[in-house]
């Protein structure tokens, strides 16, 4: 898979995770095989694409 | 001028390494693993390689009193006294043309925060954080303001900044926000302890913290013009982020982040910092400042200095002042004085009037206040709880202290706290000989080594 394809896949994985509330650490734990830099890039893309919600514990989720 | 007066961040690290304060990590480390390793390291941790990045990373420089003193090149017991005399002798910065912090310059589409190994630090943090930035902003008709502010990674161009608490930067930002205008800022990383401590100092508005840094250094701080904002920045810093605080007000989610009081903080809503440039040195070192002790020790000397100043105003002969680590280097103080009748209580009243201090122990000058056992001995045998513990209530508090139950407060209400002081000086009327300490016979003339 190309680098940008792998990053797209990461975005999808993070979006799926955020169907339910999750901490940022859950995002990192989901992406342990990916380079850290790719996780930052994917997180940036998720932030730009969605208005992320937060709960009082600081967890993120994407409203349905 | 001493060699330390002309040091930059990496020269400070090199000197601390020569003094045995640094642990080098040879194997590449992931940015999200660095904080945990820092807490396990016996000294300042220097990661030579960070997986996937061209940066190295340092942390734990101000983790203890000893390391903080080493970074400044001052004796451990002198932090408060030296800080006070530096504040009294500020030195203006000098402007230079060429700067190491601009060896690499990224602007326009090349600005990308994902190129920096911004570490994820604590389990419940809202994202990766840059914790060691000192923020420069210009207040029209007043002058330059410098302060320490954390930054949370949001996107490749944007970070969250914590402007929740009252501060000069918050006040300046509020003026711009009310006019719907962005505020230009520049953030320096990897500055020397002198500049970092100057930035952490709550200087009165209009006092340039970089001049305080000059006072601490004993020489001017070298500044260079930033590339995309109208500000001067430390020429010898490892990295500079330039950009503007957007006039979005307190709307963008920021945090939680491990706070200076040692507790995981709350989710907040704060302004957004949008970048216009990243500049850095060749082979930059990212200083990943570790919470809470590095934040706390940057404030400790200033609080010790404030105690000395207020005791001297009250005419009390102060011998030594210690901000304790358990009290996050400011909330709990131990002070020894050369007491005259009543001054144990006067000292308590003076010190508890400082906004941050919540508890204080006053001892006589025969007690070594750096030895917790000696302090406890004085409290045990020189204090009568019904006469020597002073409790003051209804005093100004901070939201970060859960014992003031900030969540029960109405919007806009400010928290109040009670404070206490323990007068562990010899009570009036008890002659000193009642406290005569055991001295082993012939102690002065015998050496253990002669018998080994
Ligand atoms: C390492 C460190 C991080 C800090 N982070 C913040 C922060 O994110 N927000 C804040 O309001 N104060 C923070 N502070 C406290 C301010 O830097 C400090 O109050 C400073 O005096 C503010 O400067 P100013 O009032 O001149 O802007 C931090 C202090 C340190 C030492």
CA distance B9 to B163: 26
> Is B267 in CB contact (< 8 Å) with chain A?
yes
Residue B54, SS3 per DSSP: coil
pLDDT at B365 over 70: yes
Handedness of CA A17, B125, B135, B167 (dihedral sign): positive
Q: How many CA atoms lie within 13 A of B309 on its CB side?
A: 16
pLDDT band of B1, cuts 50, 70, 90: low
The Cα–Cα gap between B432 and B381 comes to 12
Of B402, B51, B101, the C-alpha closest to B222 is B101
Q: For B39-74, write each residue's pLDDT tens digit.
A: 999 999 999 999 999 999 999 999 999 999 999 999
What are the domain boundaries of chain A? Answer: 3-61
Q: Give the alpha-carbon dihedral of A3, A4, A10, A11, to 10 degrees.
A: 170
Closest CB to B117: pick one of A23, A36, A56.
Answer: A36
Give the pairing of strands B134-139 and B143-148: antiparallel
In the block, residue with structure tokens 């957007």: B246
What are the DSSP calls for B20-48, one per residue?
T-EEEE-S-B-GGGHHHHHHH-SSEEEES
B46, B37 contact by CB (below 8 A): no
Determine which of B25-39, B95-109, B405-419, B431-445 has the lowest per-residue pLDDT on average: B405-419
Partner residue facing B114 (CB), from A24, A40, A48: A40
- At B208 the three-state DSSP class reads coil
Q: Name which of B62, B121, B36 is nearest B296 in CA terms.
A: B62
CB contact (8 A) between residue B267 and residue A58: yes
Angle, CA B56 vertex, CA B237 and CA B262 arms, to 5°: 80
- Assembly ipTM: 0.97
Report the distance separating Cα B61 and Cα B118, nearest Å. 18
Which chain A residue shows the shortest CA-CA distance from B267? A58
Cα–Cα separations (whole angstroms), residue B296 to A15, A22, B212: 37, 30, 19
Q: Which residues line ligand 1 (CB under 6 A)?
A: B 145, 147-150, 162, 165, 167-169, 200-202, 289, 295, 298-299
Closest C-alpha among B190, B158, B168, B164 to residue B256: B164
Domains of chain B, first to last: 79-281 (2.30.110.10), 314-428 (3.40.1670.10)
Q: What is the pLDDT of residues B71-97, one digit of tens each?
A: 999 999 999 999 999 999 999 999 999
In what order do the strands lie in the sheet containing B285-287? B22-25, B44-47, B56-59, B285-287
Question: For residue A52, is pLDDT > 90?
Answer: yes
Partner-chain residue, chosen from B114, B118, B126, that has the shortest CB–CB distance to A41: B114
Kindly report the nearest CA distance between residue B10 and chain A, in angstroms.
25
Question: Is the pTM here over 0.90, yes or no?
Answer: yes
A54 and B126 in contact by Cβ < 8 A? yes
Residue of A nearest to B269 (CA): A54
Residue nearest to atom 28 of ligand 1 (CA): B148
In A, which residues are within 8 Å of B30 by CB distance?
A: 36
Instruction: For residue B134, give the nearest of B154, B150, B116, B115 by alpha carbon.
Output: B150
Mutation for testing the A interface, residue in B55, B155, B251 having most A CBs under 10 Å: B155
């Amino acid at each position: 898979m190309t680098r940008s394809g792998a990053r797209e896949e990461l975005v999808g994985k993070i979006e799926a995770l955020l169907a339910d509330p999750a901490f940022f650490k859950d995002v990192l734990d989901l992406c342990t095989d990916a380079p850290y830099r790719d996780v930052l890039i994917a997180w940036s893309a998720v932030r730009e694409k969605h208005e992320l919600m937060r709960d009082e514990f600081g967890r993120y989720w994407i409203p349905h | 001028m001493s060699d330390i007066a002309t040091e930059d961040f990496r020269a400070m690290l090199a000197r601390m390494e020569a003094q045995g304060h640094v642990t080098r990590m040879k194997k590449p480390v992931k940015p999200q693993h660095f904080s945990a390793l820092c807490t396990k390291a016996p000294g300042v941790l220097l990661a030579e390689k960070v997986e996937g990045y061209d940066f190295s990373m340092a942390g734990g420089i101000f983790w203890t009193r000893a390391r903080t003193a080493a970074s400044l090149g001052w004796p451990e017991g002198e932090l408060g006294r030296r800080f006070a005399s530096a504040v009294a002798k500020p030195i203006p910065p000098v402007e230079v043309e060429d700067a190491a912090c601009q060896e690499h310059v990224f602007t326009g589409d090349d600005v990308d925060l994902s190129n920096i190994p911004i570490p994820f630090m604590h389990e419940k943090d809202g994202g990766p954080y840059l914790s060691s930035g000192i923020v420069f902003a210009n207040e029209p008709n007043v002058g330059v303001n410098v302060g320490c502010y954390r930054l949370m990674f949001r996107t490749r161009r944007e970070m969250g900044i914590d402007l929740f608490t009252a501060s000069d930067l918050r006040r300046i930002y509020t003026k711009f926000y009310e006019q719907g205008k962005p505020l230009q800022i520049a953030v320096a990383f990897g500055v020397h302890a002198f500049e970092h401590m100057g930035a952490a100092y709550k200087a009165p508005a209009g006092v340039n913290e970089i001049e305080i840094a000059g006072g601490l250094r004993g020489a001017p701080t070298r500044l260079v013009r930033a590339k995309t904002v109208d500000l001067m920045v430390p020429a010898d810093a490892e990295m500079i982020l330039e950009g503007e605080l957007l006039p979005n007000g307190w709307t963008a989610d920021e945090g939680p982040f491990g706070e200076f009081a040692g507790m995981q903080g709350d989710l907040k809503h704060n302004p957004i910092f949008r970048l216009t440039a990243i500049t850095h040195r060749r082979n930059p070192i990212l200083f990943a400042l570790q919470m809470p002790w590095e934040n706390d020790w940057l404030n400790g000397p200033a609080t010790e200095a404030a105690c000395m100043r207020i005791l001297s105003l009250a005419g009390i002969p102060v011998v030594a002042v210690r901000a304790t680590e358990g009290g996050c280097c400011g909330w709990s103080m131990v002070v020894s004085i050369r007491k005259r009748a009543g001054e144990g209580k006067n000292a308590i009243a003076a010190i508890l009037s400082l906004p941050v201090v919540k508890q204080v122990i006053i001892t006589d000058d025969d007690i070594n206040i750096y030895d917790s056992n000696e302090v406890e001995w004085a409290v045990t045998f020189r204090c009568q709880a019904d006469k020597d513990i002073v409790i003051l209530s209804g005093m100004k508090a901070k939201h970060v202290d859960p014992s003031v139950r900030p969540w029960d407060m109405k919007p806009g209400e400010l928290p109040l706290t009670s404070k206490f002081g323990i007068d562990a000086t010899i009570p009036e009327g008890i002659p000193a000989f009642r406290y005569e300490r055991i001295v082993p016979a012939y102690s002065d003339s015998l050496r253990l080594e002669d018998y080994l």
